C-alpha cells in the first residue's frame, strides 16, 4: 500500500480525525472503507409537518428556516439553539444543545433537511424536534449524506461518532477511482463469478442506491454485499488452504488401537449411562482415532448435552495408547472446572492417569513443575487455557487436543494449534449452533458430529416473557428462589457505544438492586472490563455460593456450571439475540426459570413476539434459525471481533450456499496455482492479523 493512501493525506480528514482513526488501527483508506455500517436507516421518504404526531416514527422533513435563536445559559455555559422551521404545511420548532455553530448553518430563509421524531414540549402544547439529525442541501438536490437516502449507521470508532464517520466515508468513497484500491480477489475470479467491482460494492455497502430494499440490506443479500461476502470467504478459504498444505506436507496423525479390553476399562469409568447421541458421536470419534489420517472433528451440542465426558473418553484412548492428551478451555474457571470434574471421575474408578493443570495464573514454581511433567511425558492428561500452546510449552508426545467452546477461538488459531509438534488429532467442541453447511464450509475439511439429545432427568427450563409493569413480580420470584437457598443471575445488555458507559450502567444497576430491592442479599458484579483474574474470582465466589445474585453484562461464561443457580432474569431482553439468551439460560438439574423482561420502548411489541420463540422451544438450532431470519448474524454469533463473528456476511453465506462453494473452489484454484502469496501481499494489517499471516514491514 502506498503512503499517499494514508489517511493523513486524504482530503476531508483533518489531522485530528486521522490521528483518532490511526489510534484504533485505521491507518489507510483501505482500512477505513472496510469499516462497515452495522445497520442502515431508511431516511428516503419525506413527510410533511402537518402529518407529524407526537411520539410517531422518525421522519425526514424538507424545511426552510423561519427564524432562529442561540441561547447561552448563564451557569455552566451551555448553549441551546432554537429554530422555527416550516414546509408550507405547518411550522415546527427544533432544539439542539451545545451546537452553537448551528447559528451560522441555519440562517433565516435557508433550506435544511432534518431527520428526527416529534414530541410534545414540556408544557404538553407544541410539537418539537429534539436534537434531530440535520443537513443543508442545495436547492436542486434531494439526496444528502445524512438525509433523503438510506444512511449507514456506524459504531463509534476512535472517538468519531456515526455522523462524523458517515461524512468522512462519503468523502473518501466519492474521491476514489476504480483501481485506486487494491483488490485481493484476482480480476479473472471477479469476472468469472460475475461480481461487481470492489469499489462499486463498497460504495453500495456504505451508501446503498435509492432502489435498495431495506430487508435485503439487513439480511445481507444485495449484490454489493454478495461481492463483499465472497471476498471474505475467499480470503479465509485461501488462508485455510495454504495452512492445510503446510500441515499436510510435514505432519501425520497418530493412530491408536481400541481393543475390547480398553473399551471395558473405559466403560467402567462412566458415572452414568451415555445417551444415544453421545454413543453415536463417540463411535464417529473412535473411527477417526483408529484411522491413519489426523482427526479434525467439530462436536456440536447444546449447553448441558454432555460434551465433557465424550472428550474425556477420547483423551483416555490417546493416553492408553501411550500418547499425551490436552484439553484446552477458553478461561481459567472452565479449565479448573474441567480438571475438578475429570479428576473426580478418574479417581472414583480407581484410575491413576496423571493429570496436570496449566493455566496462566500458576505460580512460578508450580508452572516449572507442570512444564517439566509435560516435557517428560509424566503428565498424561494436560488441562489448561491457551497457555497450553504458548511458547515454552513442549509436549513429549502429544496425540490429541480437545478444544472446548471453540467459538471463542479464531478459525485460524485452530489451524495454528494443529501445526505444533507432531501433528496431533484435533477435536473441537462448541455449543454455538452453527448450521451444518456453514460449519463444513468455514472449517474446510472439518468433520461434524452433533449431540442432539440431553441426558435424561433434565427438567426443561421454563422461560417467560414479562413486561416492565410486571417487574415487581419478577423480583418477587427471584426472592423466593433465593429463600430456598438458590442463586440467581441478572443479566444486563451491552447497549452503549462505549464499554465505559455500559460498565456504568451495569454498576449503577447493581447498586440500585443492592440499595433498593434486595438489601439483605449479597450481590456481585461481573463485566467485560474486569481483568481475567478478577473475573475468575467473582465467578468462583458465585460458584461456591458466596454471592447470591450475580449481576452480569453478557460476559457470563457460557460453559460455567453453577448448578445451584436456578433463576436468570434478563433486563431488556429485546436487545439480545435469541441464541445468546439460549446459551445463557440455566443448566442445573433442578427446575430453573428464565425471566425475560422487555422494555416498554417503541419496538417492545415486536420484541415480545420474537422472544415468544423462547417460551415455546429450547432447541438451539431452531432458535438460531429464527434469529438469523429476524435479526441477521450478529444476533447468533455476537458482535465480538473474533472467531466466526469476524465474518460480516454470515447471513449472506447462509442463504446462499452456492456463494460459499464458489468462493471455496476459487480459493483452492488460486492456492493450487501458487497464487496465494500474491493475494496476501495486498492485504492490510487487519486482515493479516485475522488470517494469522506473518506481519509485514
Ligand atoms: P456441556 O455439553 O455443556 O459441556 P457437560 O459435559 O458439562 O455439558 O454436562 C452437563 C452435565 O450433565 C454434567 O453434570 C454431566 O456430568 C452430566 N451428564 C453428561 N452426560 C450425562 C448422561 N449421559 N447422563 C446423565 N448425566 C450426564
Ligand atoms: Mg462444556
pLDDT of residue 640: 39
pLDDT of residue 409: 47
To test the pocket of ligand 1, the residue of 280, 302, 308 to mutate (highest count of ligand atoms within 8 Å of its CB) is: 308
Query: Each residue of 101-110: pLDDT tens digit?
Result: 999 989 999 9
Tell me, using a 6 A CB cutoff, whether residue 345 lines ligand 1: no
DSSP notation for 147-213: SSSEEEE---BTTB-HHHHHHHHHHHHHH--TTSS--SS-HHHHHHTTPPPHHHHHHHHHS--TT--
The least confident of 185-189, 539-543, 606-610 is: 606-610
Q: What 3-state DSSP class applies to 292?
A: coil
pLDDT of residue 643: 39
Query: Each residue of 573-584: pLDDT tens digit?
Result: 887 777 767 766
Task: Report how far ligand 2's centroid is from the alpha carbon of 454 (Å).
Answer: 13
pLDDT of residue 688: 78
Task: Report how far ligand 1's centroid is from the alpha carbon of 351 (Å).
Answer: 20
Q: Which of ligand 1's atoms lies nearest the C-alpha of 457?
A: 25
At 628, is the pLDDT very low, low, confident or very high (cuts 50, 70, 90)?
low
| Among the bound ligands, the one closest to the CA of 341 | 1
Task: Report how far ligand 1's centroid is from the alpha carbon of 309 (Å).
Answer: 7
Tell me, using a 6 A CB cutoff, whether residue 97 lines ligand 1: no
The protein residue whose alpha carbon is closest to atom 27 in ligand 1 is 455
pLDDT of residue 601: 62
Q: 205-227 as b/e, with b when 16 or more CB fall inside 10 Å?
A: bbbbeeebeeeebebbbbebbbb
Which position has the higher pLDDT, 613 or 53? 53
To test the pocket of ligand 1, the residue of 455, 585, 586 to mutate (highest count of ligand atoms within 8 Å of its CB) is: 455
Tell me, using a 6 A CB cutoff, whether residue 309 lines ligand 1: yes
The number of helices, as runs of H, and strands, as runs of E, in the chain is: 26, 23
Task: Report how far ligand 2's centroid is from the alpha carbon of 44 (Å).
Answer: 48
Which stretches does DSSP call E strand in 481-564?
Answer: 487-491, 523-526, 549-552
Q: Which of ligand 1's atoms lies nearest the C-alpha of 275?
A: 23
Residue 343 pLDDT exceeds 80: yes
Please give the share of the chain, as a percent, with pLDDT higher than 70. 82
Helix axes 411-418, 223-250, angle to 10 degrees: 10
The residue among 42, 35, 58, 43 whose CA lies nearest residue 156 is: 35
Which position has the higher pLDDT, 251 or 529? 529
Tell me, using a 6 A CB cutoff, whether residue 342 lines ligand 1: no
Q: Which of ligand 1's atoms lies nearest the C-alpha of 274?
A: 23
Tell me, using a 6 A CB cutoff, whether residue 449 lines ligand 1: no
Tell me, using a 6 A CB cutoff, whether residue 306 lines ligand 1: yes
> Strand pairing partners for 676?
none
Residue 644 pLDDT exceeds 50: no
Task: Report how far ligand 2's centroid is from the alpha carbon of 486 (Å).
Answer: 22
Task: Report how far ligand 2's centroid is from the alpha carbon of 534 (Å).
Answer: 22
Tell me, using a 6 A CB cutoff, whether residue 675 lines ligand 1: no
> Strand pairing partners for 202?
none
Residue 659 pLDDT exceeds 80: yes
Q: What is the mean pLDDT of residues 157-171?
A: 89
Tell me, using a 6 A CB cutoff, whether residue 301 lines ligand 1: yes
Q: Which residue has the cell 491413576?
A: 352
Residue 287 pLDDT exceeds 50: yes
DSSP notation for 3-48: GGGBGGGSTT--HHHHHHHHTTT--BHHHHHT---SEEEE--SEE-
Is the C-alpha dihedral spanning 641, 671, 413, 620 positive or negative? positive
Q: Where are the alpha helices (DSSP H) in 291-331?
A: 307-320
Tell me, using a 6 A CB cutoff, whether residue 274 lines ligand 1: yes
The residue among 356, 400, 349 whose CA lies nearest residue 381 is: 356
Average confidence score pLDDT of the chain: 83
Residue 691 pLDDT exceeds 60: yes
The protein residue whose alpha carbon is closest to atom 22 in ligand 1 is 455
pLDDT of residue 353: 96
Residue 513 pLDDT exceeds 80: yes
Q: Where are the alpha helices (DSSP H) in 457-603?
A: 471-483, 499-512, 532-543, 578-584
The protein residue whose alpha carbon is closest to atom 4 in ligand 1 is 307
Task: Report how far ligand 2's centroid is from the alpha carbon of 298 (Å).
Answer: 14
Residue 33 pLDDT exceeds 80: yes
The least confident of 169-183, 198-212, 249-263 is: 249-263
Q: Which residue has the cell 458430529?
A: 449
Report whether 433 contacts 577 (CB < 8 A): no
pLDDT of residue 241: 81
Tell me the residue length of the chain: 697
Q: How far is Cα 602 from Cα 351, in angstroms, rounded to an integer?
A: 60
To test the pocket of ligand 1, the residue of 273, 276, 304 to mutate (highest count of ligand atoms within 8 Å of its CB) is: 304
The residue among 340, 574, 314 whose CA lies nearest residue 427 is: 314
Q: How far is Cα 186 from Cα 195, in angstroms, rounded to an integer?
A: 11
Tell me, using a 6 A CB cutoff, whether residue 307 lines ligand 1: yes
Tell me, using a 6 A CB cutoff, whether residue 272 lines ligand 1: yes
Q: How far is Cα 19 from Cα 265, in angstroms, rounded to an integer?
A: 64
Q: Which three cell numbers stand for residue 118?
A: 416529534
Q: Which of ligand 1's atoms lies nearest the C-alpha of 561?
A: 7
Q: Which of ligand 1's atoms lies nearest the C-alpha of 563?
A: 14
pLDDT of residue 540: 85
Tell me, using a 6 A CB cutoff, whether residue 303 lines ligand 1: yes
Q: What is the mean pLDDT of residues 345-365?
A: 91
Query: Each residue of 393-421: pLDDT tens digit?
Result: 888 999 999 988 755 444 444 545 544 55
Task: Report how far ligand 1's centroid is from the alpha carbon of 48 (Å).
Answer: 61
| Among the bound ligands, the one closest to the CA of 451 | 1
Task: Report how far ligand 1's centroid is from the alpha carbon of 275 (Å).
Answer: 10
To test the pocket of ligand 1, the residue of 306, 343, 557, 562 to mutate (highest count of ligand atoms within 8 Å of its CB) is: 306
pLDDT of residue 2: 43
Q: Which of ligand 1's atoms lies nearest the C-alpha of 310?
A: 6
- Enter the DSSP assignment of 516: I
The protein residue whose alpha carbon is closest to atom 16 in ligand 1 is 306
Task: Report how far ligand 1's centroid is from the alpha carbon of 533 (Å).
Answer: 26
Residue 567 pLDDT exceeds 60: yes
Task: Report how far ligand 2's centroid is from the alpha carbon of 638 (Å).
Answer: 19
The residue among 188, 237, 245, 239 whose CA lies nearest residue 661 is: 237
Residue 208 pLDDT exceeds 90: yes
Tell me, using a 6 A CB cutoff, whether residue 588 lines ligand 1: no
The protein residue whose alpha carbon is closest to atom 15 in ligand 1 is 306
Task: Report how far ligand 2's centroid is from the alpha carbon of 558 (Å).
Answer: 8
Print the SS3 string covering 431-446.
Answer: CCCCCHHHHHHHCCCC
pTM, two decimal places? 0.64
Residue 466 pLDDT exceeds 50: yes
Q: Which three cell numbers stand for residue 2?
A: 502506498
Q: Which of ligand 1's atoms lies nearest the C-alpha of 311?
A: 6
Residue 61 pLDDT exceeds 90: yes
At 619, is the pLDDT very low, low, confident or very high (cuts 50, 70, 90)?
confident
> Strand pairing partners for 157?
160
Tell me, using a 6 A CB cutoff, whether residue 686 lines ligand 1: no
Task: Report how far ligand 2's centroid is from the alpha carbon of 666 (Å).
Answer: 36
pLDDT of residue 149: 93
Residue 520 pLDDT exceeds 90: yes
Q: What is the mean pLDDT of residues 174-190?
A: 93
Amino acid at each position: 500500500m502506498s503512503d499517499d493512501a494514508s489517511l493523513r493525506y486524504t482530503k476531508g480528514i483533518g489531522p485530528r480525525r486521522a490521528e483518532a482513526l490511526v489510534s484504533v488501527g485505521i491507518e489507510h483508506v483501505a482500512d477505513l472503507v472496510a469499516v462497515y455500517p452495522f445497520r442502515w436507516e431508511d431516511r428516503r421518504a419525506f413527510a410533511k409537518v402537518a402529518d407529524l404526531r407526537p411520539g410517531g416514527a422518525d421522519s425526514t422533513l424538507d424545511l426552510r428556516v423561519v427564524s432562529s435563536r442561540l441561547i447561552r445559559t448563564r451557569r455552566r455555559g451551555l448553549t441551546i439553539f432554537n429554530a422555527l422551521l416550516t414546509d408550507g404545511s405547518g411550522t415546527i420548532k427544533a432544539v439542539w444543545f451545545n451546537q452553537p455553530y448551528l447559528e451560522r448553518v441555519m440562517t433565516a430563509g435557508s433550506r435544511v433537511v432534518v431527520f428526527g421524531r416529534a414530541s410534545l414540549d414540556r408544557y404538553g402544547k407544541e410539537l418539537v424536534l429534539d436534537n434531530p439529525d440535520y443537513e443543508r442541501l442545495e436547492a436542486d438536490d434531494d439526496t444528502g449524506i445524512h438525509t433523503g437516502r438510506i444512511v449507514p449507521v456506524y459504531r463509534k470508532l476512535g472517538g468519531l461518532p456515526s455522523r462524523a464517520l458517515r461524512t468522512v466515508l462519503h468523502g473518501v468513497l466519492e474521491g476514489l477511482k476504480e483501481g485506486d484500491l487494491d483488490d485481493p480477489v484476482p480480476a479473472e475470479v471477479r469476472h468469472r463469478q460475475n461480481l461487481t467491482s470492489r469499489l462499486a460494492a463498497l460504495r453500495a455497502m456504505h451508501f446503498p442506491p435509492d432502489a435498495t430494499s431495506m430487508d435485503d440490506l439487513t439480511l445481507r443479500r444485495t449484490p454489493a454485499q454478495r461481492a463483499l461476502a465472497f471476498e471474505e470467504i475467499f480470503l479465509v478459504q485461501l488462508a485455510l488452504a495454504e495452512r492445510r498444505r503446510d500441515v499436510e506436507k510435514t505432519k501425520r496423525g497418530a493412530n491408536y488401537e481400541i481393543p475390547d479390553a480398553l473399551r471395558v476399562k473405559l466403560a467402567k469409568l462412566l458415572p452414568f449411562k451415555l445417551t444415544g447421541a453421545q454413543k453415536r458421536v463417540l463411535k464417529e470419534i473412535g473411527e477417526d482415532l483408529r484411522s491413519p489420517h489426523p482427526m479434525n472433528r467439530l462436536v456440536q451440542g447444546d449447553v448441558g448435552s454432555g460434551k465433557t465426558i465424550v472428550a474425556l473418553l477420547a483423551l483416555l484412548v490417546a493416553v492408553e495408547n501411550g500418547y499425551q492428551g490436552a484439553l484446552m478451555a477458553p478461561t481459567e474457571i472452565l479449565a479448573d472446572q474441567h480438571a475438578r470434574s475429570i479428576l473426580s471421575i478418574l479417581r472414583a474408578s480407581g484410575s491413576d492417569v496423571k493429570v496436570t493443570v496449566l493455566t496462566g495464573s500458576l505460580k512460578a514454581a508450580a508452572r516449572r513443575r507442570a512444564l517439566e511433567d509435560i516435557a517428560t511425558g509424566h503428565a498424561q492428561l494436560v488441562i489448561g487455557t491457551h497457555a497450553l500452546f504458548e511458547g515454552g510449552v513442549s509436549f513429549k508426545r502429544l496425540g490429541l487436543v480437545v478444544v472446548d467452546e471453540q467459538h471463542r477461538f479464531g478459525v485460524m488459531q485452530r489451524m495454528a494449534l494443529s501445526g505444533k509438534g507432531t501433528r496431533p488429532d484435533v477435536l473441537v467442541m462448541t455449543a454455538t449452533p452453527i448450521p451444518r453447511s456453514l460449519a463444513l464450509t468455514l472449517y474446510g475439511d472439518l468433520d461434524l458430529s452433533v449431540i442432539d439429545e440431553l441426558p435424561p432427568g433434565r427438567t426443561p427450563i421454563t422461560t417467560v416473557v414479562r413486561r416492565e409493569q410486571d417487574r415487581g413480580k419478577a423480583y418477587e420470584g427471584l426472592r423466593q428462589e433465593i429463600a430456598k437457598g438458590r442463586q440467581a443471575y441478572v443479566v444486563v445488555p451491552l447497549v452503549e457505544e462505549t464499554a465505559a458507559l455500559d460498565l456504568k450502567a451495569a454498576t449503577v444497576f447493581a447498586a440500585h438492586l443492592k440499595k433498593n430491592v434486595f438489601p439483605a442479599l449479597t450481590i456481585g458484579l461481573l463485566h467485560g472490563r474486569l481483568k481475567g483474574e478478577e473475573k475468575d474470582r467473582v465467578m468462583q465466589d458465585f460458584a461456591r455460593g458466596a454471592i447470591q445474585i450475580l449481576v452480569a453484562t453478557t460476559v457470563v461464561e457460557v460453559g460455567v456450571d453453577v448448578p445451584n443457580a436456578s433463576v436468570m432474569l434478563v433486563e431488556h431482553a429485546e436487545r439480545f439475540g435469541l441464541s445468546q439468551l439460549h446459551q445463557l439460560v440455566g443448566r442445573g438439574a433442578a427446575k430453573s426459570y428464565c425471566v425475560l423482561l422487555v422494555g416498554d420502548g417503541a419496538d417492545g411489541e415486536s420484541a415480545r413476539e420474537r422472544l415468544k420463540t423462547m417460551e415455546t422451544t429450547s432447541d438451539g438450532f431452531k432458535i438460531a434459525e429464527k434469529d438469523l431470519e429476524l435479526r441477521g448474524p450478529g444476533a447468533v454469533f455476537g458482535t465480538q471481533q473474533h472467531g466466526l463473528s469476524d465474518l460480516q456476511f454470515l447471513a449472506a453465506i447462509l442463504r446462499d450456499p452456492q456463494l460459499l462453494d464458489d468462493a471455496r473452489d476459487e480459493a483452492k484454484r488460486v492456492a493450487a496455482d501458487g497464487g496465494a502469496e500474491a493475494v496476501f501481499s495486498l492485504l492490510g494489517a487487519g486482515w493479516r492479523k485475522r488470517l494469522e499471516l506473518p506481519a509485514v514491514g
